[in-house]
Structure 1
Amino acid sequence: MRATSSVIVGREAEIGLLDEALAGVRRGAGRAVFLVGEAGIGKSRLAGECALRAYGLDVPVLRGRATSTGLVVPFRPLIEALSSRFRAAGAPDDPELVPYRPALAGLVPEWRAGAVAPGYAISLVELAEALLRLLAVLGREQGCVILLEDLHDSDTETIAVVEYVVDNLADLPVLLVGTLRPDPGPALDLALAAELRNTASLRELRPLDEAAVRDMVDAFLDAGPGEVPPAAHRYLSQRAGGSPYLVEVLLADMLDTRRLSRADGRWELDDSGEVAVPTGAVRSWARRLDRLDEPVRELVLIAATLGGRFSVGALRSVTGLDDRALFAHLRAASEAGIIAPDGAAHDHYTFRHVLTADALKASLPPAEQAALARRSASAIEESVGALSGEERQLVATLRLAAGENAVASRQFAQVGRQMLDAGASGSAAVLLERARGLAAEEERDEITVQLAIAQAESGRLDAASVLLDDLPPTPAGSQAAEDRAQAHTQVAWVATMAEQQKEARRHIRAARALFGAEPRPEQEAALVVVEGHLALLPEQRGAGEGRGPEGRSRPDGRELLKAAERSARGAALTAEQRGRPVVACQAWQLLALLSRERGFDEADACLVRMLAVAEKHRLAASRAEALVRLGTNAFMRTGEATQLETARAAAHELGSLVLLQTVDGLLGMQSVLGGRWDRARRIVEGSVEASARLQNLSAHRYLLLVDAVLAAHQGRTREQERALARFRRAGGEESMLVPLQRGLCQAVGALMAEDRERATAELDAALAWERENPSFFYLSGRYGLRPLLRILDAGADSHSSSSADSEAEGVYGDGGREAYQEALASPGGQLAWNRMFLGMADAVLRGRDGDVDGARRAVEETGRTAAVVFPQVWHLTLRLTAEAALRDSWGEPVTWLRTAEEYFHEAGVQPVAGACRAALRQAGVSVPQRRGGRELIPAELRSVGVTPREYEVFVLLAERPGNQQIAQRLFISPRTVEKHMASLMAKTGCVARSALCALSAERAEEQKGSGTTARVPPA
């Protein structure tokens, strides 16, 4: 007989906490709650109660449980949780989730087909971010609950994902409830650390007191107060130790043996004779097994040997039963309250409680347990062809239970290697660690090498280093030495990507020592690629590194990069020939960066070669990386983003959130330079926090810089400083982005504030950094803005000096021509952004030399593209160049200043607009007052300086009224009307009043055709 009840007793505080958390998530305040307690203490019952209350509030619930079989199954509770929600409903179609579908396909089997490109493993952080976004979308209306039970049995990947989600719930409508035992391990560490960081609440469930046990028993028996004998309450309270599970088991045993029975409407306890009641769960379950039919008893014992959760297929293999008999026995065991179908998988069953399987196994003598485990392992191996990873782990666990440690070790090691190849490095490390502890002496070193790689790729570089360092010596050039050297190479690559230069170099030295004096070409190529990427890091590239141990001068940064390029080119060709396509792609990617100094055509050729290798060998990640870098080069060459958008589509198809964020940063910068502020802001807001959560540091820094550049180019100084402060906190000033920070952000921001001196200082600082640290960024001002400013400053100084030529020559050398020629001859000078500045510099120099026509053509040719692609900074260059044109009497400086003034006034950049007005006044040109209604004046009239009051007169001229009529309409004097008429004729070029009236009528007709009406501006 089963003794169960839906009533929960003794947990009022915990239920109150869950109710409070549910109310919070419905308001958008996310929370995590961990329920910790021994097996049987009631964690799952509380989680179930939380689910019921959520269902009652129409809050979506996702529920998953880790396996208690000891098998390592990556993401099992997460897969079960999502499947419980979406198996029937299908994939959510919310547009916000489109970038995250490939990552989510790793959790929901039904979404896998074609969702993730072959050859690419979704990273843990990408998966965690995708899950976070999915939960946020689900909870958008009413909130969302995700219940994850038995986290102590979870794989390391699940723990990592849960930690990420917990740390980022605060502003999302999501409640995460996790249950776990207080056993030392990653799950408990996670819960304790989250409580310490105030990102989660932790509640440890205590045993029930006597009063709670009494209430629980009365609820089970549906008995009123005093109906159950006090002796029965005392017995259950003492023997169960406050464990609700044991109360249930012992009460069921009392009912089955009729020690507690109901007669004449009351409950009676038979305590006569010797007390034969079990003293614990083991004896209780042993007695219950004795009452089952022999075939059912044997099936239940075999199922317990297979674990707390078992598949019908495995049970069929071991028992040899046909389906009819097998399911009949399973029904009998279910009716006895021992097992139940697993709701997460149609072909699996679970024991009603995790302790049940352990108790049943413990009821057998050790020899019988071992024999049953051995028999089960052999049956599964014989009946199944190629074992899956989960089946192989089950066989290993059974061999271990049978005392066959070496066999178990080999099985665990094989699954661990498979998981490592599949990218589940954390789970691989767990299995390889288990295999290493069981392995025979002669097999342990080989497993240790694989374990070191798994530890490194899962982010535990220190542990990987210790494992490799502790290996016994082996002869250089032997197979064992080559395997170890390969491991050192892989660990060095991970260390390089983590910018741990010292550790990376140490592993490279160890690899070279193990390969011996003459490593094979493909081995040398792999090492060279790692060393080449190391050469790009600031510490190794910096000048002034001192002298070597023998007193020889170390090569400077550029010599190191040239040597790295020569080595990388040989490594790329060797890797292609020797069948190492991943190394080849890494080498071509490195070469594409290093060869930029000679031109972007050569850089693109390297990337095209990388793309070809990636497509030939179906390397999806390398293919997407090549497309992104090609798109980046195209953006810098033309200012357009077409190829970047194509690259983003490839990154999305791949499912790489890290690469998507990299592309978004580039698209954000392209939007800033193009003056598309709203698009740039959307990109930054959509990716900057996610990149931080993903620990995608390079993309995060770049997005923060984009945010700062966005503010700088709009002339918003305070916003710029706030964004730069975030950039600095993220380590931006220790990164390769410093030249862009100083030149593209701070220098342009200074120009928007009309602080030419500070802008020049920032550009000089950027150049100084680049000279000390060879840079691969070309938009820092060195190849465009700085030469233009130097030329403008030289011209201004020569005009203001009493001995113009001699003093200007002394301060500026050749008047800025050398910097201009240097930039023009460099690959950076061919980029669209820099061509804009160099084109205007050319115009200024031609105008200074008296080539008026050449200067005019230079401005026209430059503006043909720049005005469309880079409108904001194009108008800034007009404002800067106009002063030189006024001094040297060339071009149309008044028109340029009026155009720039109009643009910056509308953009809200008042310092530049004010400077334009000041320059117009100095040129002797009347400057219109900035009165209300100016925005109603058509652009072509604003550009020639028509004022709001003049426009009032112009609008009325379409009706051809006389001056007296206009004066009456506008409440001004006829003399004032005459003054405005004269000004309008001069500004529009109309030589007669009739022509001005015709122009007014023409403009009125155009506005009427476009659906607008010419309105008189307010006074």
Structure 2
Amino acid sequence: MLITSPVLVGRDDELAHLDGGLAAARRGEGRAVFLFGDAGIGKSRLASACAFRAFADGMAVLRGRGSTTGATMPFRPVAEALLSLFRIGGLPQDPELMAYRPALAELVPEWRSASPTTAGVSVLETAEAVLRLLAAVGHDLTSRQEPGCLLVIEDLHDADAETLAVIEYLVDNLSGLPVFLLVTLRATSGPAGELARAAGRRRAAALIELRPLGPADVRLLAESCLGAEAGQLPREVTDKLVRDSEGNPFVVEELLSGMVSADVLRGDTDGWRVCGDLGIDVPTTVVHSVAQRTARLDPADRDFLHVAAVLGRRFALPVLQLVTGLDDRSLLVHLRAGIDAQLISPSGPVADYYEFRHALTTEALLAGLLPMERAAIAQRAADAIERAHPGLPGDWCQRVAVLRLAAGDARAAGLLFAEAGRAALDGGAVASAVALLERAHELMAGSQATAGAASVLERLVYTLVETGRLDQALALADTLPLTGPGALDDARSAALHTRLAWAAVTALRLEDAAARVAYVRGLLGRFDSASHTPAIDVVEAHLVLVPRPAGGEPAAGGEPAADGGDRTEQAEQLARRAALAAEAADLPEVACQAWQLLALLERRHGFDRADSHLERILALANRHQLTTWQVDALLRLGANEFMRSGSSTQLERAHRAALGLGALALMHSAEATMAMQAVLRGAYPAARELTDRCVAATARLRNVDNHQFVLLTRAALAAHQGRRREMEQELAEFHRWDGDRSLQRPLAFGTCRAICAVLEEDRERSLAELDNALDWERKHPTVFYLNGRYGLRPLLRAVEGRSDPDEHAAITADPAAGLLWNRQFERLAHAVHEGRAGRPEQALRAVQEAGEAAEPFLMARHLGLRLVAEAALADGWGDPVPWLRTAEEYFHGAAVPAVASACRDLLRRAGASVPQRRSGSEGVPAGLRRQGLTVREYEVFLLLASRLGNQEIAGCLYISPRTVEKHVASLLAKTGRANRAALYDYAVEATAAEAH
């Protein structure tokens, strides 16, 4: 019989902790728990109890387990967990998951055909997708009384690097989600243990270490296993169990199984009694127990179990059949024998997978084999798999590599691990690729096949770059021999160091990048480099543009750093040469990289020229089916369209394309750009919603450029509402994300601080910030043109009398001055100059043109009116009073008191009535507020619609008839009506319109 306890013993405190985690998940308070413990201590039993309770409470339960085959299958436990739920309940239909389906396609087979594939999906993107999926699963259960979900990952110590990355990501981001993550692992060192302990140190997860059972619990467990009443077991049995098991529940059960199987412990109607020698050595008790059960089997059954043990604790039945060569019937007969012997059981939710009852069972079976026997089985298994699967597609390569290593063929194993690493890299599993290639490199170190070893090292360097481990990649690249049979040829060496140079320049490692560029330049003359030169030109073009600290680091190749204009010209020449050469050499991705950079640089000559380059990228991407580049080009075209016309239509179309493609980085870039456009339009709630949606995701994904722009957008959102403290907090976060070395830095001066200062009526400070932006742009190449240089700065200088028409003419000659956001301010600046020169008609025409340009920009339109009205009032032209009333009305409602107060001061200076901002003024219709009607005047106005006389109105409002007469006189002046009869008619008309 199977001797195991039907109840969980001695884990009440731990189970209570897990119950708390389940309850928190149901409240939407995500938690994570790591269960540590030695083999057999009861981790799986406790996890199963937690899963049962979650399921009973109506929660979704997902379970997966690390692989014990030695092969690093990317995401295997996570994929198994997802399939354990979706195989039964189907896929969640939450529309917000649409963007994440491509990232999940490798984990959920049903989404592979339904989703477009994207190359290069990062582990972090996959982790974010899993997080969103779990959140959707938890929220999708709203029809149940207790929503939420439980994700159980067992044996994390056997998991692949990608799974570890996903688990770490989930642990750090579960807060606020209806998800409880429960992970089991052995209490040993290693990457999984370090992950768990680090999470515990930062209080992102709880760590529970399962301790051995105490004597009382061991006795209770034994009684539960045998169905005995309390105190019914002989004292010598329980004493031996306490002493020899050391509190390990599995060993307790195995010791009892050994005693019962050896017939030294018997049970009858009178209870249990000892009938022989209880002396079984420990820890060999498990080996003896397994050996006894195995010895009773047929020799063919024993061979079957030994082959299975060599394959690992958990094995797939089809693989075992392939190695043993058994037919279906014989396979099932031997499998049943192992199950009946209490050695094997089905493994979780995945069909055709079985496992040994415990890891110690596997170890016991392997201990019964001689090393030569194990090697022979491993070799036989490897040969059988290679015959059945030529080329070893999929994960067969890793499986055979493990078997070749077990068979003692280190070189063959190394080559196979290297091939598996290449396949993992092609599939986007870069962390697994690194682990596999490092193993291959270690195995082939000292191999006589130096060319093969060099190829493995070359591939490892590329893969390290993909994972961001640049220091290690650079160091390993420098160990490659320069000459001899193991050296790379010049073309491969140039390609490798070009890739390193690109990684270095994007990481702002300028000295490393410059050194690699110089090295590659030295190689290019030694071979046909037509297909290599464009890539290094693109790298050097970007290197030229990278902002440098004060004092200036040397540019590529050791040349002194030029000013921003010269460097832009140099970068443009390099990029153009790269683009044309890449197209000639049929290198579409390199060509797209070069045209993309040119599109940014060409903005300074006009956005039509920039768009022509983006259209070229679009054509290339369409021709070569480069879907990511298609969306990228659409996104940039959409950004340019907004700057010229104020329309976001094309950008929204690009966002939908990124969403459908599952290109998360592009999706977030589109959302950040849409948010900045919303800020400029004055659509602040929309901007807040968009930035809230992507700020956490871009931070989690470590997408630095996107995250920096999101932070700047949030700072601009605060600045455009006059909220300095909030703005400075966002800018501080931007600087913490290395913002000082970002090409986006001038936005902090012009789009954020300068706007905030002008809304505080601090023009000196605003001009100082605009000067900072201009100074930065003169010293560095810039790709941003809405920072005030061509718009707000000329207007403020004109109002302050610090500029003249010649200075203004020089600004308007730049194509950037024609961009809609800039044009609204530039036209007002022109109006100021024309009005000051005594040309009021031309000034008014310029104000009208400014109004047309400002139509999409709510806040900026009113800010412009406030500024130009001051100049018009001082120089005696235009109609500043209605401009000021309109601006005052807006800024009062927008809670920007400094500008609203300035508008009221200017109205007083103009001799116009000033709106009284008493309680209830919001009840006055906006059109009447703009005419200056006070709350009391509006009350009189409403009664005039009923054609009441002064005496009647005074009685209704409890004021004197003389006061009513004063209010009527003021109403006639403010509304421009000729007499009381006309005022009556206007009151009737206005109140009727308000009613509708």
Among 873, 884, 890, the residue aligned to 1:897: 884
1:863 alignment counterpart: 851
1:478 and 1:385 mapped to 2: Cα distance? 30
Structure 1 residue 345 and structure 2 residue 350: aligned? Answer: yes
What secondary structure does 2:4 align onto? coil
Q: Is the 8 A contact 1:779 1:833 kept in 2?
A: yes
Question: What secondary structure is seen at the aligned counterpart in 1 of 2:545?
Answer: coil
Whichever residue aligns with residue 42 of structure 2, its letter is G
1:727 is the counterpart of 2:738: no
Contact 1:68 1:354 in 2 (8 A): no
Report what 1:50 is aligned to.
50
How far did residue 274 of structure 1 move?
Answer: 9.3
Residues in 2 aligned to 1:706 and 1:622: alpha-carbon distance in whole angstroms: 24
Change over 3 Å in CA distance of 1:327–1:513 after alignment to 2: farther
Decide which of 147, 150, 163 is 1:145's aligned counterpart.
Answer: 150
Deviations 1:991-1010 (A, max 9, x none): 233222222222233334x2
From 871, 893, 896, give the equivalent of 1:906: 893
**What do residues 955-988 of structure 1 show as CA deviations (whole Å, max 9, x unaligned)?**
2233323333333333333333333333323332
- CA change 1:49–1:553 in 2 (3 A) is closer
What is the aligned counterpart of 2:921 among 929, 934, 939?
934
Deviation, structure 1 residue 3: 0.9
Matched residue SS, 2:208: strand
Aligned twin of 2:448: 441
SS in structure 2 of the partner of residue 539 of structure 1: coil
CA contact 2:453–2:486 (8 Å) conserved in 1: no
Alpha-carbon contact 2:490-2:527 (below 8 Å) kept? no
Q: Which residue pairs with 1:130 in the alignment?
A: 129
Alpha-carbon distance, 1:772 to partner: 1.8
Q: Which residue of 1 aligns with 2:495?
A: 486
Deviation, structure 1 residue 589: 1.2
Contact 1:538 1:773 in 2 (8 A): yes
Amino-acid identity (%): 49
Shifted more, 739-748 versus 379-388: the winner is 379-388
Match for residue 423 of structure 1?
428
Matched, 1:828 2:787: no
Amino acid across the alignment from 1:93: Q
Describe how 1:790-939 pairs up with structure 2 within 5 A.
790-794=797-801, 812=802, 815-866=803-854, 868-939=855-926
**What is the aligned counterpart of 1:400 among 402, 405, 408?**
405
Match of 1:35 in 2: 35
Taking the aligned partners of 1:194 and 1:280, their CA distance within structure 2 comes to 36
1:563 aligns with 570
Gap change, CA 1:12 and 1:278, over 3 Å in 2: closer
**Structure 1 CA distance for aligned equivalents of residues 280 and 963 of structure 2:** 119
What's the counterpart of residue 415 of structure 2?
Answer: 410
The whole-number CA distance in structure 2 between the counterparts of 1:548 and 1:157 is: 36
Q: Distance in 2 between matches of 1:635 and 1:6?
A: 68
1:155 to partner: Cα distance: 0.9
Q: 2 CA distance for matches of 1:501 and 1:414?
A: 33
Bigger CA drift: 615-624 or 872-881?
615-624
Question: Which segment drifts farther, 67-76 or 838-847?
Answer: 838-847
Q: 1:323 aligns with which of 322, 328, 331?
A: 328
**Residue aligned with 2:273, SS:** strand
Query: Residues 657-715 of structure 1: CA distance to partner in whole angstroms, max 9, x if unpaired?
Result: 22222222111111111111111111122221222222122222222222221122112
After alignment, is 189-198 or 470-479 more displaced? 470-479
SS where residue 395 of structure 2 aligns? helix
Q: Which amino acid aligns with 2:953?
A: I
TM-score by length of 2: 0.94
DSSP 3-state at the match of 1:409: helix
* C-alpha deviation, 1:645, in angstroms: 0.8
1:583 aligns with 2:596: no
2:157 is aligned with what amino acid?
H
Q: Deviations over 1:226-275 (max 9, x none)?
A: 32233333444454444322332332233233232223432233325997
Quick check: 1:35–1:202 contact (8 Å CA) kept in 2? yes
- Other-structure match for 1:1013: none
Deviation for aligned residue 1:221: 0.6
Cα pair 2:254 2:289 within 8 Å, conserved: yes
Does the 8 A contact of 1:419 with 1:428 survive in 2? yes
State how far apart, in whole Å, the 2-side matches of 1:487 and 1:601 are: 37
Taking a change above 3 Å as real, the CA distance of residues 278 and 600 of structure 1, as seen in their structure-2 partners, is closer
- Unpaired runs of 5+ residues, structure 1, are 795-811, 1011-1019
Cα distance, 1:875 vs structure 2:
0.6
Question: Which residue of structure 1 aligns with residue 299 of structure 2?
Answer: 294
Are the counterparts in 2 of residues 611 and 627 from structure 1 also a CA contact under 8 Å? Answer: yes
Q: 2 CA distance for matches of 1:179 and 1:910?
A: 58
Paired position in structure 1 for 2:474: 465
C-alpha distance in 1 between matches for 2:386 and 2:776: 65
CA distance in 2, matches of 1:343, 1:862: 69
Indicate how the Cα distance of structure 1 residues 131 and 277 shifts in structure 2: closer, same or farther if over 3 A, else same: closer
Matches within 5 A, 1:225-244: 225-244=230-249
Q: Are residues 889 and 55 of structure 1, via their aligned partners in 2, closer, same or farther at CA, if it must alter by over 3 Å?
A: same
Query: C-alpha distance in 1, partners of 2:310/2:103?
Result: 35
Sort the Cα spacing of 1:618 and 1:759 in 2 relative to 1 into closer, same or farther, 3 A: same
1:157 to partner: Cα distance: 1.0
Distance 2:560 2:217 in 1: 80
Q: Do 1:742 and 1:765's aligned partners in 2 also have CA atoms closer than 8 Å?
A: yes
Distance change >3 Å, CA 516–CA 418, structure 1 → 2:
farther
Q: CA deviation at 1:79?
A: 0.9
CA contact (8 A) 1:760 1:789 kept: yes
**What is the alpha-carbon distance in structure 2 between the residues aligned to residue 358 and residue 9 of structure 1?**
26
Counterpart of 1:660 in structure 2 is 667
Change (3 A) 1:278 1:822: closer
1:689 corresponds, among 688, 692, 696, to: 696
Residues 605-644 of structure 1 aligned to structure 2 (within 5 Å): 605-644=612-651
Alignment length (residue pairs) = 986
Q: Identify if the C-alpha distance between structure 1 residues 359 and 732 changes in structure 2 by more than 3 Å, giving closer, same or farther.
A: same
Q: What amino acid does structure 1 have at the position aligned with 2:665?
A: V
Alpha-carbon distance between aligned partners in 2 of 1:360 and 1:275, rounded to the nearest angstrom: 18
Counterparts of 1:975 and 1:633, CA distance in 2: 61
1:361 aligns with 2:366: yes
User: Would you say 1:780 and 2:787 are equivalent positions?
Assistant: yes
Residue 121 of structure 1 is matched in structure 2 by 120
Q: CA RMSD in A?
A: 2.6
After TM superposition, the structure 1 = structure 2 runs for residues 704-719 of structure 1, keeping only pairs within 5 Å, are 704-719=711-726
SS state at 1:206 partner: coil
**Which residue of structure 2 aligns with residue 808 of structure 1?**
none
Could you tell me how far 1:891 is from its partner in structure 2? 1.4
Find 1:526's aligned residue among 517, 535, 544: 535
Q: Report the alpha carbon displacement of residue 578 of structure 1 after superposing the two structures with TM.
A: 2.0
SS of residue in 2 equivalent to 1:34: strand
Instruction: Tell me which amino acid in the other structure corresponds to 1:130.
Output: A
Note the alpha carbon deviations across 1:899-935, whole angstroms, 9 max, x for none: 1111111212111111111111111112232233333
* Alpha-carbon distance in structure 2 between the residues aligned to 1:833 and 1:600: 14
Q: TM-score, normalised by structure 1?
A: 0.92
Q: Point out where structure 2 has 5 or more consecutive residues left out of the alignment.
A: 140-145
Q: Is the 8 A contact 1:122 1:655 kept in 2?
A: no
Shift of 1:142: 4.2
Question: What does residue 143 of structure 2 align with?
Answer: none
Secondary structure of the 2:33 match is strand
Aligned to 1:334: 339
AA partner of residue 353 (structure 2): H
Amino acid paired to 2:50: C
Distance 1:389 1:480, change over 3 A: farther
Checking the alignment, whether the CA contact within 8 Å between 1:476 and 1:514 is kept in structure 2 is no
**Structure 1 residues 549, 191: CA separation in 2 closer, same or farther (over 3 Å shift)?**
closer
Question: Cα distance 1:476–1:895, how it changes in 2: closer, same or farther (>3 A)?
Answer: farther
Alpha-carbon distance change, 939 to 668 in structure 1, aligned in 2, over 3 angstroms: same
Identify the residue that residue 282 of structure 1 maps to in structure 2: 287
Distance of 2:554 and 2:227 partners within structure 1: 85
Change (3 A) 1:83 1:227: same
Cα deviations by residue, 1:736-777 (Å, 9 ceiling, x for unpaired): 233211111111111111111111111112111212222211
Please say if residues 283 and 363 of structure 1, whose CA atoms lie closer than 8 Å, have aligned partners that are also in contact: no
Q: Is the Cα–Cα contact under 8 Å of residues 35 and 183 in structure 2 kept in the other structure?
A: yes
What does residue 938 of structure 2 align with?
A: 951
Deviations 1:760-817 (A, max 9, x none): 11111211121222221111101110011111111xxxxxxxxxxxxxxxxx4xx333
